[in-house]
Structure 1
Amino acid sequence: MPGGAAAGLLSVARAEPPLTTLDGAITDRAGVLGDDEAQVRAALDRLADETRYQLFVVYVDDFENMDGESWANATANNARLGAQDLLLAVAPAERLFGLSYVSGGDLSERDVDVIQDAVADRLRAVGDAPADDADWGSAAVVAADATRAALASSSGPEVSPLALSGGAVVVAGGVGGWLWWRRRRQERGVPASSADELAGLPTQDLDRRASSALVAIDDALRTSEQELGFAQAEFGLEATTAFERALAQAREDVRQAFALRQHLDDSTQEAEPQRRELLTRIVTLCDGAADALDEQTAAFDDLRKIAERAPQVLDETLQRADEIAARIDVSRQALATLSSTYPASALASVSANPDQAASLVDGARSAVEQGRAALAKRDRGTAVAHARGAQNALGQAVTLLDAVDRAGQDLAEAGPRLERGIASITQDIADAARLAPLVSAAGDASVAPAEAEARAAVEEARAARDGGDPLAALARLTAAEAALDKALEPARAKAEADARATALLRDTVGRVESQVRATEDFVATRRRAVGPEARTRLAEATRLLGEARSLHPADPPAALARAQQAERYAQAAARAAQQDVAGWGQQQGGGDVGGMVLGGILLDSILRSGGGRGGFGGSTYGRSGRSSGRPGGRVGGGFGGAGFGGGRPAGRGGGGGRSARGGRF
């Protein structure tokens, strides 16, 4: 038996029938854990503390001529383990193991696959290691940690909020495992529930994800409502208006999500694709509501920080106001310089910015004074409101002054940008002319006015190069191009679809022509055996192929659809013809019957007709149709589709509603 560690156990190996009782979470009848038992127990405790699942591990020398799966299931049933109890059984001397679990719980079949693979990999490494280095307990640690990770990532409510504590103020306390899981993913830069991830989940897991999301977001809403009340009492209604709006929208999203859940619970006829679509919508709505609450949580955190250090915040805000005020005269001078080069219309959007910035700075200073007065009266909430108002005013002032700073650069760059814009929109105008037949066929009246505006915008842009307002011309050019793009979108989409369809059509028609020719040859050389079904399918394939060719110039997508239909009929014809020939051979006694008889060449008939061309007699089908009991098989090759292989090898024990995975390592 390979593996140094396992080989060292052979001399003392003792067969163990399935156990009737366990020694506790760890049963080591093989005596292989030693000092490693402590780390195994710690891993099992982490799993039990953070989830609703418990893992039992058993080490014995020998499974008494049973496979690991059956032995593990029998032991789990004898010990009366529950639905959320797993049992890992390992026989080091035999290099066998089994993992018993109850299917249909919070662990999906994919989760169990991952756990099984992790355990098998670890056991294989341990089994191949020298006996002195064998760490058999590490397999149990891997099983516990893999189970814990699977439960955490499967978004089930099995993750304890106590074990997974933390997070923002608004959703702390009632969030549960789902919001913790999505928060951890966001910290790593992963979207809470990406479309690809949801699409990859089995329907059962997606259903659990949706149910868990509903429970978690409902708890988060209730906690958020309490938090809003506290915040309103502390900071006032005005400071919490945004959160109130976000909470109202979150309530509406969650109401829709619960309505979808109720529809799914009431409906027993919902097809799986529609069911998956609704489950995905539920998760998306819950994610959106949670995102909105998260954003407001950050805003509340900011308010609390300001409240904690309100005097310093007011002082810093006043200092910031002085710094911004020093920029105002600089901006005025910059505008004066620009006005000597560009017309007033080119500076209209920024000419009043310095005066507006000065007004905002004055307002910020006044707010700081009022905030200080509120602090003197021990009214910290009012002080925070004034501090926030001053900060917002200064933020707007900075935006205005930055716009003046950028104006000179924008005007300097407007010339080259105009040239690029003219070139780009000119191509769109050319596309409008090229796609005119498609536009006319669709009866779209929006392209003509959009094209006219695009031409007018080009004229204005060209004039602006000689001393006009380049920014206004560029704005008009950009808007005109966007409008023309939108108007041309259906025609462009049709043109692109036609091009893709044409490319696919060439490939499809080539395949179908080859298959039709091959099947025609097959039928022609086996006329005696081939019946009406194969011939009918072949004729339909030929007809559809002709339609595809004729439709191609006017409607490539429709032509492609006909060609694809033709391909299906050609494949069906080939299969039917092969089955007919196989059945005919059996009717003839199974001998080597072929040649001229199979090919429908009857010498007697030919001679009697004087060597002339034969009619339709002589090769009668003699059957009223193909029987489902007729054996299949291939004749000639090249006509059948993909074969059907077996599924995953059997590796699950039965009994007591439990399943098992395992095998040899």
Structure 2
Amino acid sequence: MAGFWGKRKRDNAELAAQDADLARRARSSLVAADERIRVTTDELSFAEIELGVEPTKELRDALEAVRTHMSEAFHLHQLNHDEIPDTAEELRTRNARIVQLCEWAEDLLDDRTEALAAPIQRARRAPEIIAGVRADAERLRSRLPQARETIQRLAARYSAQALAQVEANPAEAEQLIGFAEHSAGISERRREAGQREQANLALEACTEAARRAATLIDAVETFEVEALRAESTLSAIVEDSREDIVVALKEPHNPEVSAAIATLQDALASLPAAGVNTDPFTLLSRLREANSGLDEAIAKARERAARPIPPFEHVRHSIDDADRQLAVARDVIAGHRGWIGADARTRLAEAERIRIDLDRYLGMSASAATMIDDDHREQAMAMSRRVAFLAGEALQLAQRDIDSSRPQGGPDQWGGPQQGWGGGRRGGSDLMGGILGGLVIGSILDGFID
């Protein structure tokens, strides 16, 4: 007994220590959260000066929500210290709620202030950013003559279709450079007028315009390099394609391979003569596509050669065999319904389902199997074999159920000597008894189901 009371005192002491620690956390959390609200309020004021009212709306809404919930936390803390006595459980519940509210408040304010940190930093660096945009605009404008010369040089070598993706780049880049300089001036004037939100929008516009102008000018130089690379690759692929045709002509032929060879030959024949302005990108894509088509057709032909297609007669015989096995299984199960379990019935149902799918797949009767093409013959053979396999399994499972359910003979059992049906313990008398028993039990079950 002394040990019991000693343990109880220790448990009470531990719980009291935990409650005291929770109370200290509640008090310190209240102070920290209240101080965070004050600091964030100041940060909101600075953010509104730098960014304007609309970009800081989420932080403002968060502060309002935090103040609302923190009033609940302060009210709970007040209840802990009023003149009304409280139980330990009530104090514990209130303090836990206070800690929860304070942690939520600080997490929400952290999230909203972090989201504004980058825009505020950017706004404070506005003069530096604007100076950088103007320097970039001057540098980009000096590259425009070279970009135009590159376009003229490319026009003498490549077709208008090939140049369509970069031909207008210098003109578009020049417009974007002018827009970037104009937006930079607007940003400066709006900031001086105290219109920070509009100033920041203009700042974003000028930096984006300068970035896009640089991308357009760079694309002209990139195009020239990529076009030369495409021409080099095209020459190699033309040579490879001619070799591929020679190899393909030695492969086992079928309509798909012949069509793929013809497509690749047409692509090679359509190549422009030397000295004609071309589009190496389009020509390269066309040859690659034709090459891939030939590779795929040859791979299928090789696979087909390694896996002979079953003759029409074999397909028809396989379907006939499946139908025979399905009929046998169906008859045995129907004649012994009262003894047949779920496994045999399930195999039979699946076999019948696949048999129906086979007819739908062929879209014709089995007698017309000579009209089935190669791909359909393979699938038809696989489906018919699956039907036969499932029907065989259904028959085996049904026989197992029948054997386990039929009487095993004896003076008072079906098939025993007194019955006079065949006189044997495992002869025709057992089969007759099984059939009759299955019919009787099946009819009884049918009556219950109905």
TM-score (norm 1): 0.33
TM-score, reference length from structure 2: 0.45
More helix by share: 2
